[in-house]
Structure 1
Amino acid sequence: MRMSRIQARLLQAIVRPALKTNLLKHAAWRVVLKLRNEFAHAVPPVELETTFDENIRILTSLSDHIESQVFWQGFQEADEGVILLLKRFLPSDGSFIDVGANIGTFTLVAAHRAVRGQVHAFEPSAHHFARLAHNVELNDFKNVALNRKGLYDQPGEAVLFLPSQTGEMNNSGAASLYTSALEETRQVSEAVSLIRLDDYVREKSIGRVDIIKIDIEGAELKALEGARETIARFRPLVFMELDLDNLERAERSPEEVLQYWKSLNYEVSIILLTGETVPVTSPKEFGLHQNLQCRPF
C-alpha cells in the first residue's frame, strides 16, 4: 500500500486539533487509530519530521508504535501525566536523567525546559540511539549528554532483545534485557554495554540530580540498585514505569519495588493522565501497567 507524505501531513493537520475538542474528540480517536494502522503497512514506510510539545522537532516513522503516536497525536499515550509533572517540577537550571531514552521524547522536553541545566540520556539500542541523537541535533540542544549505554546494578555486557513484527505496527520501544521462549522467534538481538548510574555520576562529577525517569522494560529495579548512592545523596523525584508482565519476566515482584523505595524513605504514587497522583501502600493496588511517581518524604 502506498501512502504519501502529503496525505499524512494533511490528515495530521485535521486530527490533531480535533483531538483537543470535546465535540470531536471521540470521533477523532477512531480516525487516528485507523490512520495509524493504515500507515503502519505503508510501502515504503512513511517517515516525517514533525513537532510536539511547544514545537519541539522530532523525526517519526509512521510504522513505529511510539513514533506514530507522537506524529498523529502530539504525545505518547499513557505518558501525558508524566510529561506534565516533568514540566512542573524540573527547574530551568535543573538536572534530569533519562534512563531508557528511546527516541528522546522525555529528553527533548527536559532539554527544552532546563535551558540552564543538563540532561543525561541513556539508550543502549543502536537504532534508538541514532534517532535520539538526530532529534537532539534537530533542536540544536547543547545541554544534553548522550550515552549509548544501559543502566544496571553492575557494569558489563548484555543482550538486548528487540521485537520484530514484519507487516505489523512495530513496537520497538518494547526492547528488553529479558525474553521468553514464546517470543524468541519474533525477536532480534543486539549486544549492549551496561554501566551503573552511581559510577557515572561519580566519574562525571555530577553535583545535582533533580529528576530521574526510568522505563527499561523490566530492568528498572536492577538499574535502581545501581543508583542507590545517587538517589540517597540527591533525593531526586523519580518517574518509573511499572509493567507487571515485564517485572515478572525479570523475576522481580511489586513487593520488591515498594520495599526498595521504602528503604530510601520515598513515597510511591500512581500517576494519572491528568498529572494527579494516587499514593500506593500495597502491591495489590497496582494494575498491569502504570507510571509511578517516587518522591522523598
Structure 2
Amino acid sequence: MNKPSIYHEHSPQLDTLWKKSVARIWSPDGETGWYDQSLREVMVLGTLLRKFRIEPQGVLYLGAHSGYLLWVWLLLGYRNVLMVEPQEDVFKRLATVAKATSAMAMVRDQMLDCEEPTQIHVAQCAISDHDGEADFFVMAHSMLSSLQAPNVTEFGQQRLREAMSVNERVTVPVRTLDSLLRELAEGGSDTRYNTLYLNIQGAELKALQGARQTLKHIEFIHLEVNIKERYVGAPTAEDIDTFLGELGFEPGWGMRYPTIGNGHTAYVRKR
C-alpha cells in the first residue's frame, strides 16, 4: 500500500489570509513597530515558558484591545485563545482580527495535518469579581481604559496625563472569569487554558478574585502591576503576591518601569 504523501501544495489563500489577519493591527505607517513589539514579546514570553517548563496549551488574554498579542500566542504554540475586551468600538476590530486569523489557522491546520484545530474565541465584557454591569472609564489612549478611575496626579509627564484623560464614562457588561468559562463550556467549548495574561489597568486583583475555579487549572500568569497608584484603588504588587500565594503561585520573574509607574510580573504554580 502506498503511503499518503506528506507534501501539500502551497496555497495563495494563506498569504491573503495573513494580510487580512494583521491588517487591522498595523497602523498605516506602523508595520515596523508592530513587528518589533511582537518579536520582543515572543522572545520574553517564550524564554519564560521554557524557563518554567510550561507547555503552551490555551491562553486567557484579558484586556486584549485589538488583539496585538494574538499572533504572539500562536507563534508560541498556543492552540486555544480566548480574547476579552469590553470597549465596543475596539471589540469590533478585535472580532475582525479574530475571524481572519481563525480562517488562516484553519487552512494552516489542514495543511499541517493537525489533529487538534486552533480555536480562537472572543468575548465583549470586562472581567471582575462579579457578574452584572459597571462603569468603565474610556481614556484618550484607549489601551489605558479601565474599570478603575484614573489617578492622573500620579503622572508627572504631560503626555501620560493626556493619555490618561477620560474621554467618556460608559456602562459595560461585567463577568467573572469563572462564569464566562462555564458559559463557554455549556455552549460546547472544550478548550483548555493553562495560561492567564492580564492587561486590565488596575483591575487585576478583582479579576483574579472572580477566577478561583479557573486558577485551579492555570500554570502560568503574566500581569501588569502598579508601582504607583495609577488607578484609584489599584492593588499593589504585594496585594497580588499575597492573593496568588494563597492559591499556590509564586512570582518567578518581573520588570518595573519607575518613570511610568508600572511593571510586569510572571507567576508560576508551585510544583
Determine if the TM-score, normalized by the shorter chain, exceeds 0.5.
Answer: yes
> Are the equivalent residues in 2 in contact too, given 1:161–1:189 (CA < 8 A)?
yes
Deviation at 1:74, TM superposition (A): 1.4
**Corresponding position of 2:15:** none
* 2:46 aligned with 1:84: yes
| Residue of structure 2 aligned with 1:217, choices 198, 201, 211 | 201
> Are the equivalent residues in 1 in contact too, given 2:82–2:120 (CA < 8 A)?
yes
Deviation at 1:246, TM superposition (A): 5.0
* 2:225 aligned with 1:249: no
**How far apart, CA to CA, are the structure 1 residues paired with 2:49 and 2:252?**
18
* 2:43 aligned with 1:59: no
**How far apart, CA to CA, are the structure 2 residues paired with 1:146 and 1:172?**
18
**Corresponding position of 1:197:** 177
Q: Which structure 2 residues correspond to residues 32-111 of structure 1 after superposition, within 5 A? A: 57-60=22-25, 62=27, 68=30, 71-72=32-33, 74-76=35-37, 79=41, 82-85=44-47, 91=55, 94-111=57-74
Which one-letter code corresponds to 2:70 in the other structure? T
**Corresponding position of 2:99:** 137
Which one-letter code corresponds to 2:100 in the other structure? L
Distance 1:230 1:188, change over 3 A: same
TM-score scaled to structure 2, two decimals?
Answer: 0.68
**How far apart, CA to CA, are the structure 1 residues paired with 2:134 and 2:44?**
29
Q: Choose between structure 1 and 2 for higher RCO, CA contacts under 8 A separated by at least 6 residues.
A: 2
**Corresponding position of 1:159:** 135
**How far apart, CA to CA, are the structure 1 residues paired with 2:254 and 2:43?**
6
Residues 81-131 of structure 1, C-alpha deviations (whole Å, 9 max, x = no match): 554357757756x1111111111122332245547x321111111122111
**Corresponding position of 1:35:** none
> Are the equivalent residues in 2 in contact too, given 1:154–1:195 (CA < 8 A)?
yes
Which one-letter code corresponds to 2:265 in the other structure? L
Across the aligned residues of Structure 1 and Structure 2, the Cα RMSD in angstroms comes to 3.4
**Corresponding position of 1:40:** none
Distance 1:243 1:56, change over 3 A: farther
Which one-letter code corresponds to 1:293 in the other structure? A
> Are the equivalent residues in 2 in contact too, given 1:270–1:292 (CA < 8 A)?
yes
> Are the equivalent residues in 2 in contact too, given 1:60–1:71 (CA < 8 A)?
no
**How far apart, CA to CA, are the structure 1 residues paired with 2:98 and 2:230?**
30
Deviation at 1:203, TM superposition (A): 2.7
Distance 1:212 1:57, change over 3 A: same
**How far apart, CA to CA, are the structure 2 residues paired with 1:175 and 1:81?**
27
- The size of the alignment, in residue pairs, is 221
> What SS does structure 1 have at the residue aligned with 2:213?
helix
Unaligned runs of 5+ in 1: 1-50, 165-170, 273-284
Distance 1:81 1:156, change over 3 A: farther
- Which deviates the most, 193-202 or 172-181? 172-181
> What SS does structure 1 have at the residue aligned with 2:228?
helix
**How far apart, CA to CA, are the structure 1 residues paired with 2:80 and 2:201?**
25
| Residue of structure 2 aligned with 1:228, choices 212, 221, 225 | 212
| Residue of structure 1 aligned with 2:122, choices 118, 132, 146 | 146
**Corresponding position of 1:278:** none
| Residue of structure 2 aligned with 1:187, choices 141, 144, 167 | 167
> Are the equivalent residues in 1 in contact too, given 2:80–2:191 (CA < 8 A)?
no
TM-score scaled to structure 1, two decimals?
Answer: 0.63
**How far apart, CA to CA, are the structure 2 residues paired with 1:222 and 1:110?**
24
> What SS does structure 2 have at the residue aligned with 1:250?
coil
> Are the equivalent residues in 1 in contact too, given 2:58–2:191 (CA < 8 A)?
no
Which one-letter code corresponds to 1:224 in the other structure? L
Which one-letter code corresponds to 1:179 in the other structure? A
> Are the equivalent residues in 2 in contact too, given 1:90–1:114 (CA < 8 A)?
no
**How far apart, CA to CA, are the structure 2 residues paired with 1:192 and 1:59?**
23
